[in-house]
Structure 1
Amino acid sequence: MADGFDSPATWVLLEGTSDVAAIRALRAARGVRPDDEPCVLVDMGGATNIRHHLAAAAERDPRPRVIGLCDEKEAPYFVRALAAHGRAVCVPTGPEVAVEPSVSTLPDFGFEVCRRDLEDELMRALGVDGTLAVLANLDLDATFSAFQRQLAWQGRPVIDQLRRFGGTTAGRKELLAGALAAALTIDDCPPPLAALLSSMPSR
Structure 2
Amino acid sequence: MQATTVLVEGESDRLAVESLARRCGHDLIAEQITVVPMGGATSIVRFLDRYGPRGANHRLLGLCDEGESWGIARALERAGLGSGPLDELGFHVCRADLEDELIRCLGVDAVLDVIDAQGELASFRLLQRQPSQRGQPVPAQLRRFFGGRSGNKIRYAPLLVAALPTGHAPDPLARLVEGFARES
TM-score, normalised via structure 2 length? 0.91
Q: Aligned to 2:6, which of 12, 18, 43?
A: 12
Aligned length: 182
The answer for unaligned runs of 5 or more in structure 2 is none
Q: CA RMSD in A?
A: 2.0
Equivalent position of 1:69 in the other structure: 63
Describe how 1:32-47 pairs up with structure 2 within 5 A.
32=26, 38-47=32-41
Aligned counterparts of 1:86 and 1:123: Cα–Cα separation in 2 = 35
Aligned counterparts of 2:77 and 2:27: Cα–Cα separation in 1 = 34
Distance 1:59 1:171, change over 3 A: same
Aligned counterparts of 2:153 and 2:77: Cα–Cα separation in 1 = 31
- Structure 1: 4+ residue segments shifted above 6 A: none
How far has the Cα of 1:168 moved from its partner? 1.6
Distance 1:36 1:169, change over 3 A: farther
Residues 48-84 of structure 1, C-alpha deviation per residue, up to 9 Å, x if partnerless? 01111112122335x2100111111100111110111
Equivalent position of 1:92 in the other structure: none
Equivalent position of 1:59 in the other structure: 54
* Segment of structure 1 superposing worse, 75-84 or 177-186: 177-186
Aligned counterparts of 1:45 and 1:199: Cα–Cα separation in 2 = 23
The alignment partner of 1:163 has SS state of: helix
Equivalent position of 2:171 in the other structure: 191
How far has the Cα of 1:28 moved from its partner? 2.2
The answer for unaligned runs of 5 or more in structure 1 is 1-7, 88-99
Aligned counterparts of 2:154 and 2:31: Cα–Cα separation in 1 = 19
The alignment partner of 1:107 has SS state of: helix
What percent identity do the matched residue pairs reach? Answer: 42
The code of the aligned residue for 2:7 comes to L
Aligned counterparts of 2:132 and 2:63: Cα–Cα separation in 1 = 32
Describe how 1:99-114 pairs up with structure 2 within 5 A.
101-102=83-84, 105-114=85-94
Aligned counterparts of 1:86 and 1:134: Cα–Cα separation in 2 = 42
